[in-house]
Structures are given as C-alpha cells and as structure tokens.
A and B are shown apart, each in its own frame.
Chain A
Amino acid sequence: MGVVSRVADLGRVALDVLAGLGRAGLMLWGAIINVPNISKGLPLVVKQIYVLGVRSMVIIIVSGLFIGMVLALQGYTVLADFGTVESLGPMVALSLLRELGPVVTALLFAGRAGSALTAEIGLMKSTEQLSSLEMMAIDPLRQVIAPRFWAGVISVPLLTMMFCLVGILGGHLVGVEWKGIDSGSFWSILQASIEWRQDIVNCLIKSALFGVVVTWIALYRGYEVTPNPEGISKATTSTVVQASLAVLALDFLLTAIMFGQ
C-alpha cells in the first residue's frame, strides 16, 4: 500500500508540474496573441519599458563597469606570465559578449525587475484587481500581462548591449590607463578577434531569449500567486530563484549549440 501511494504521490507531482507548465504556456500565449492595437497598447508598453528598462540602467551600467574592470585585472595577471598582455582586449570582450554580458544582465534583471513584476502582479491578483478588470470586460492578459512581457523582451537585449560596451570600456580603463598596455594594439587585436555574426548576433539572440524567460517566469509567478502576504513573498523568491536557474541552464544549452560545434 505504501509503495502504491508513493507512486501516486510522484504522479501527482508530475501532473502538477505539467499543469503548471501548461498554465504558464497558456498565459504567455494569451499575452502574445492579444497584440494590442498600436495606438492603445504602445503607451502601456512605453510605461513598462520605463519601469523595467530605464530604472535598471544604473545597476546594469555600474555592474558592467566593475565586471569589465575585474576581468581585465585578473586577466592581466595571468597574461603577464606569458608576455601576451595585448590579448587582454579580446579576452575581456569575448567573455563579455559571449557569456557574461547576457547572463549577468539577465540575472540582474531578474533580481531588479523580475521580483518587482511578480510582487506587482501578485498584489493585483490578491486584491482581486485582475478579476475586477475581467468583470469590466477588459482582458487582464491584454491590459496587464502583455505590455509587461513585451517591455521585458525589448529591454533585456538593450541592457545587455550597454552592459557589454561599458564592460569593454572598463577593461580598457584597467588595461590601458592603469596597466599601460598600448592602446592601439589593445583595440586592433580586439577588433580582429571579434566577429559580428559569431559574437554580437549570438549575444543578441541569447539576451532576447533570456528576456523572454525571465519576464515570463516573473509574470507567471505573480499571476499564479496564493493570494496572501506569505504567498506574495514566496512567489517573489521563487521568481528570482527559478529565473536565475533557468537563465544559467539555458545559457549552457545555447552555448553548446552556438559555440560547441
């Protein structure tokens, strides 16, 4: 009897996970398919880009600068042993464009904007604002979820571009201004080793997918919240945890596809 009920428990967990995935998919589908007409929907998206994107700029730029600087500093000590400090530029730029830029931006975005999204939607759900919208024949997916989703998907790649650029400038700051690598060779070797298709396009693809995943998880966690204070705090935590794990796992998968050959 004990074994049977264990198996049944396992089955229930699996069914719950699948049902959750299905509900998340339906929510995303509802948000995507209900493309709001431009004149009405655009102001909502603009407002959300301000909340999600513009407000995240400071943290993204500051952390990009520091990560670029620390990469350059650590790389310099290793490269100096081999007498190839000129390769510092490509090292910093490649690691930023291929991995750190998209991943760290998505992680910071999940912490800075994703958690806020979950709390906001969760509170709307708890105070039954979403149900009231529905009673007034306004589709909450279209009015509330869709603009936030699109704003997230637009913001993350742009933030990633800023992150990478500022990181490379930070690497330049440490490598050239502080450690005295020749500025000309720093840039020329950097330019020679970075390819636009291989590195920058892949960076954009990665960051756009991370934007989709992080925003989706944040919205779904808020949408499916248990309507009480504890539920909202749990949902916010699980947004950050699940979004971070999803980003890291997806990053490995994408790297294997893009660069693993």
Chain B
Amino acid sequence: MLTRKVELFVGLFLLTGLLAFCVLVFNVANVELKSSKETYTLRAEFNNIGGLKVRSPVKVGGVVVGRVSKITLDNKKLVPVVTLTMDKEFNQFPETSSLSILTSGLLGEQFLGLTPGFMDDDIEMLADGDRVHDTRSALILEDLIGQLLYSVSSKDN
C-alpha cells in the first residue's frame, strides 16, 4: 500500500535531484540558454600556436568576444590555421586589426588577444570568412631561454 507520505517524499526526492542538476548546470557550469547567438567566423594563420586549444577565448582588452572553433594545419604552407567564431554583437573590427596569442598570468591558459587596428576611408570591417593578416605567434618560453643563453654565451666570447 502506498501511503500519501511515501508519495510526498518520493516527489520531494525527485524534485531535489532535479533541482541539484539544474543548479549544477546553470550555476556551476554556467550554461546560458540563449546559446543560438548569431556568430561570424574569421580565419588567421600563425607560425606557432603554442598551447592554444579549441574553445580558447578571443579577447579584446579582456572582454571575451569569441572563441577558437577549429585548429588545423595548412597543407601547402605548413602553418597552423585557426578558425575563430566571433559574436555578431561585436562586428566592428577593421581589417587592420591584429591577433596575438597571449597567456593569462605566468602559467595560465593561452588565449587570443585581438587588438583593433586603425580606421581609414578605404579600410573595411572584418566580415564572415575574412582572414586576419597581422598575427603574432605564441611566446615559447623554451625558445626565449635558448635565445637568452645564446646571447649570453656569445657575449662571453
């Protein structure tokens, strides 16, 4: 026999479980419901992308304006090609803008920093599918140390 109390407790149990799930999804994982934001894509070639990953953020002065959606290698030039998915809300970047791979903090994750370029009459805005020409590769710590050691030893001689 099912008593009313048992049903009540089971209902509360299910609700608590679902509530915990919702809090985890919306508060802890911070999922936003309006995920179907309008986006446009940009491409950029780098010499070295370091530790950049898919889903790394693209920031302008610290504000996230897009994410890395794909990383491949150009088969002819043999350089990494990064595809960015940018938020349509931010679509006023001139063609002269530059992309550089930066690191948050000394040991943090790497992200793409977008620096808006100068504006002029004959300069257009970056649009869907455009390529960002001015790119700066990741700072590889090992290379820097190598250069430092090289310059120190060449001074000694």
Contact = CB atoms under 8 A, between A and B. Distances in A.
A246 interface: no
Given A191-B29, A194-B29, A199-B29, A54 B24 contact: no
Contacts of A190: 28
Nearest to B17: A158
Main secondary structure of the interface of A (DSSP, over half): helix
Interface stretch (B6-14, B93-101, B135-143, B148-156): B6-14
Contacts of A157: 17
Contacts of B31: 196
B28 A54 contact: no
B9 A161 contact: no
Contact of A191 (B2, B6, B20, B30): B30
A57 B15 CA distance: 13
B79 interface: no
A164 B13 contact: no
B21 interface: yes
Interface string B1-43: 0100011011011101110110111011111000000000000
Contact of B13 (A53, A93, A192, A194): A53
Contact of B28 (A93, A158, A162): A93
Nearest to B29: A196
A214 to B, nearest CB: 17
A196 B13 CA distance: 23
A191 B2 CA distance: 42
Contacts of A195: 29
Sorting the interface of chain A by its residue count into under 10, 10 to 19, 20 to 34 or 35 or more gives 20 to 34
A46 B7 contact: yes
Interface residues of B, number: 21
A66 interface: no
Contacts of B17: 157-159, 161-162
B16 A57 contact: yes
Given A194-B28, A194-B30, A57 B20 contact: no
A20 interface: no
B10 A50 contact: yes
A165 B13 contact: no
B16 A162 contact: yes
A25 interface: no
B51 to A, nearest CB: 15
Given A157-B17, A158-B17, A158-B18, A54 B10 contact: yes
Contacts of A117: none
Contacts of A47: 2, 6
A166 B10 CA distance: 19
Nearest to B30: A191
A200 B2 contact: no
Given A157-B17, A165-B23, 17 more contacts: A43-B2, A49-B10, A50-B10, A50-B13, A53-B10, A155-B13, A158-B16, A159-B17, A161-B17, A161-B18, A162-B17, A162-B20, A164-B20, A165-B24, A165-B28, A168-B28, A196-B25
19 contacts: A49-B10, A50-B9, A53-B10, A54-B9, A54-B13, A57-B13, A57-B16, A155-B13, A158-B20, A161-B24, A166-B20, A190-B28, A191-B28, A192-B30, A194-B30, A196-B25, A196-B31, A200-B21, A200-B28
